[in-house]
Amino acid sequence: MQDTFRHQGLRKRLVQELRGLGIKEEKVLLAIEKIPRHFFIQTTFEDDAYDNKPFPIGRGQTISNPYTVAYQTELLELNDGEKVLEIGTGSGYQSAVLAELNVNVYTIERHQPLSNKAKRLLDNFGYTNVKTFYGDGFKGLPDEAPFDKILITAAAPEIPKDLLRQLKVNGMMVIPFGEGDTQEMIRIKRLDNNEFEKETFSTFTFVPMLKGVED
Ligand code: SAH
């Protein structure tokens, strides 16, 4: 696969579109301008890779649309060097966006083939600040905790208690919350050991967050 001038031009146009939709953080827009999203989707959809749309990535899963990726990333308010846990590696595209923002990414996927494929791709891009894990994101990564930020990229039917425990004090978790066709974007801040604050943002559509793993 190649990253041609045409692809690069389409990415510039996509970034303009995202600005129009209200994405402001320059480092997020720069990451989207840099990363060849067409590498992360099936070749059938290569020509449409820079449309603001989700695409199938196998196993009934999808890569989120770029606006959703940018929106969630902005909500995380990332600082250099932070430790970030992502639930739902999927294609690895969101992990790459996080990696471009100079944080240390730990990403979990419950479908083994998707996890393997994303790992290969992210390794090929040379992202040494991304670690991929095959497992159930509801459990998080107790051995690597605590995290500054946690990002869930699938529709959560509940707020995973184990993940709240793995958040640093002053850390934040971004979750698309709710079952059914649409989810509310929620951000939870850990104020103290047992004190959390919840904010609610716009409505989005995600594939469901499911328990257990599939090989
Ligand atoms: N961040 C991804 C979005 C993929 S869609 C990307 O940029 O492409 C959401 C992903 O979450 C799917 O791949 C799905 O298999 C995964 N997922 C759902 N429930 C999960 C869980 N409990 N643990 C880990 N991954 C999960």
Reported as a single tens digit per residue, the pLDDT across 32-67 is: 999 999 999 998 999 899 999 999 999 999 999 999
Q: Please say if 64 is a catalytic residue.
A: yes
Mutate to test the pocket of ligand 1, among 105, 106, 110 (most ligand atoms within 8 A of CB): 110
pLDDT of 1 strictly over 90: no
2 φ/ψ angles, rounded to the nearest 5 degrees: -120, 155
165-200 pLDDT, tens digit each:
999 999 999 999 999 999 999 999 999 999 999 999
- Answer yes or no: is the C-beta of 93 below 6 A from any ligand 1 atom: yes
Q: For the beta carbon of residue 45, count every other beta carbon within 10 angstroms.
A: 15
Closest atom, ligand 1, to C-alpha of 214: 15
- Answer yes or no: is the C-beta of 68 below 6 A from any ligand 1 atom: no
- Cα separation values, 188 from 53, 142, 171, Å: 27, 19, 8
Mutate to test the pocket of ligand 1, among 35, 40, 55, 61 (most ligand atoms within 8 A of CB): 61
